[in-house]
Amino acid sequence: MGKRRVSVKTRATLGGLAIAVAALYALTVSYDIPLSELASFLIGSLAVVIGTMLLAVLVVAAIKLMARLIRKIGERKADD
């Protein structure tokens, strides 16, 4: 069996994206959804995903900062 050029996770992600695009295309064709509505839906969905990712990064940064501050306070008390 030869070496795979694309990992299983990458293929699964690309397959999921292809299915999502096909489903959106089928919905727009069957329900006669205007392109402007579809574009606003996609932009809104993208904004929610980006906002969620940014919030996650901020939460992780805040937790790491608090852990660093607690560690420094502990070191100061140990020095006293």
Evaluate if residue 1 carries a pLDDT over 60: no
Name the helix (H) or strand (E) containing 48. helix 35-79
Q: How many DSSP H helices and E strands does the chain contain?
A: 2, 0
CA gap 22, 30 in Å, rounded: 12
| Tens-place pLDDT, residues 38-68 | 899 999 999 999 999 999 999 999 999 999 9
User: Do residues 18 and 42 share a domain?
Assistant: no
User: Do residues 53 and 27 share a domain?
Assistant: no
CA gap 63, 39 in Å, rounded: 36
| Residue indicated by tokens 């306070």 | 73
Number of folded domains in the chain?
Answer: 2
User: Do residues 39 and 72 share a domain?
Assistant: yes
| Tens-place pLDDT, residues 7-22 | 999 999 999 999 999 9
Structural domain harbouring 24: 1-33
- The candidate with the shortest Cα–Cα distance to 36, out of 46, 27, 28, 47, is 28
Evaluate if residue 28 carries a pLDDT over 70: yes
